[in-house]
Amino acid sequence: MELSSLWSVLGSASIDDALVWGVAILSALVALVALVNALDMFLDAEAG
């Protein structure tokens, strides 16, 4: 594989889409962890 064809693959729109989806999935996981943590703290305060 030539360097120019590798550069065109890395610069394509599909890589941009994959990065956007990766960031979206990662932020959704962080939000889910934060929500579960907040719910756990809320339930611990109710029980205690």
Compute the average pLDDT of residues 25-46: 96
- Radius of gyration of the chain measured on its C-alpha atoms: 20
Q: What is the C-alpha to C-alpha distance for residues 34 and 42, in angstroms, rounded to an integer?
A: 12
Distance CA 3, CA 7 (A): 6
Res 21: pLDDT: 95
Q: State the average pLDDT over residues 23-37.
A: 98
Parse the chain into domains and list their residue ranges.
3-47
DSSP per-residue string spanning 3-36: HHHHHHHHTSHHHHHHHHHHHHHHHHHHHHHHHH
Average pLDDT, the chain: 87
User: What is the distance between the alpha carbons of residues 43 and 32, in angstroms, rounded to a whole number?
Assistant: 16
